[in-house]
Structure 1
């Protein structure tokens, strides 16, 4: 009996208590209901963690040797040291950190970690019960968070509209018809908030399970619950577009085109509807590619929504018809139009953006411009000077002139011109117009635009002997000559316009000016000898001019 006792005591003595205690306890990530404890292990085979509700002045934990305390990381669920309030939350061999759960908000706790040895063969446990610096540690849980917001929200396909903000709860996402399911990734502002997506629990920052999408509108609900029970709900409306049409509208043509409008006609494709876009200008070489979004249309060109900054404006959306009247165009301008088939709804269309036969097509509006850009006479000078807006002129010629021609130039190339009822090509001289001796001759120039607008100019040609001696200008004097300071003066008795032309010795015209003034600026001429010809009131004089 004595021998057996000695042997037992020897075995127990060989399996002894650790000598180095666990130390450096640190508390992190404390919330209203949980906290993380980490420590530096001692020299025991195990680290046994106890926690109790109370301050650091509470009695230390005193675990009993040869008692195996069953741990549970949820406070109050593990074994207690007697009735001391110290509960075992961990008995770990390899880890040196632990997340403790089920704590009470706004409550102080004391934590201690003991180095321990446990021997399975003999079922003995030994605890090092001495407490050193850094063991124990106190933690106080804060008030339960009431933060039930998300700090981020994203989808696996499409883009949130508007851009995510914690305070914005409703979003839209558009996806193509090829996308049949989607994931969302919610991120909680507070890590302890709970998240549900369509009623299923999800984890912050981790994509949800795939959510099947039907064609059309789908609603995804995200519910965030704070620690204190506060709830905030977010919603994503996901629109899955219908498939694109497969046959594009074709054979665009224009009828009833005027100066400011036209009627566009076409053959429909196989979409549920179609949209018309128009831009000013010739063929751009490529068709526009609009996003699958709503475009506000307007039959007045330029007032509908534009595709980006391309100049393509939405004119109208039509379900069954195949023509549209367009207004607000500019006279004499070329425009392009394109008709796109779409499926879906006006707010969520799926456009077919390919081109087809006769689509796009161009049209040029009819001009209503019935003006001249220039008008001149073969003899004499117009008085006043020509201006497109001035319709009535006079021209004086000498008695020796028996006929003249006029050369009208149309502002718009599509306008037609008649001189005294005879058609004339723009920029070409008219037929000869006989002048009546001793009387005035009225030349009528009629300009007709494409749309029928008419504007009439007149030139009253008068024969006169006044101011002419042998067809020379009466009182014609040029001074100073030689010219030294870049200015020359021309005196005559007539007050009519002087048509002045200066030629160099090779016959090249170097200056042309019409004026009623005496002073003529020739400062740009180089030094040399020139010939000056002056026409006034049907007479002409010539002067040799020396520039020094």
Structure 2
């Protein structure tokens, strides 16, 4: 027979034991599972850039990444992926494909991409990618244009020292230097230069013009133009009078008893002396060659093979072109900016080739009414 006192103690222990057990409703456990699943679905499973490496290995739980690229890198290809096919991924508020590459342009400096992942339930997952594009280090010039004179040697971005020839008595000179890239700035003699160039004073004697190019990253390069100008205007050379055989005789009563005769014969100068009764007469034959300014500094064509390299004082060239060539663009540059150039009597540079296999084109350079030269280009079209 069970002792009543022991039975009461057993029942009390059973009641106390039941009180220590927690009851978890089924609906609560199910909601917790959904929250955990939503958190997992609102994470990226992959974040990578083609050809570039992040500052740290990607992990879905790490929300911030960065990378630094050279200035030459103008865009990135970014791959973003979520393991949940229903998730929507956006970059800076714009939807992107899940698991496909997207292309994004870069500006110089910091480029920030905010990436969100959202499946429509719960809080979205957010990642931050910072791409830093280095500043441009190009401090080269593309070309230098002058209002007067020409550069010697011909301009090249890698050459930093030049002479300016042909200025003579010019007291001012306009320069239009152009940088190789738009991010650079230019100063001429420490003065900023606009796209229209700058005009500088040319003092008498020898002087230098310094063109300083500063790259976006602060690196500089200086081009120096050496200038020489006479203190006064150059005298005009005396004009020759070829073939006249004019003779100047001494005036009557002259004590010198000498006369001078000028006569041009070819390109040679001959001096002689002959004696007559009571008079000594000296005869001089000379040639004075006039210096032309009607020259080309350079001459090029859009297509064809030249028979020889262009030289400014050679005036005839043969250029071979292919059978199908119908038009050619000719690009002449005068040695002196005040010269005018006409191609076949016109200012148009593109010409139509003749139907036959040979086309002769004239390029006339005119510096003044009595100073002009004609360059002749013979285009030979191949028959096959």
TM range (shorter): 0.3 to 0.5
Per the normalisation by structure 1, the TM-score is: 0.31
Q: Structure 2 length normalisation: TM-score?
A: 0.42
Higher relative contact order (CA 8 A, sep 6+): 2
Structure with a larger share of its residues in helix: 2
Rg comparison, structure with higher value: 1
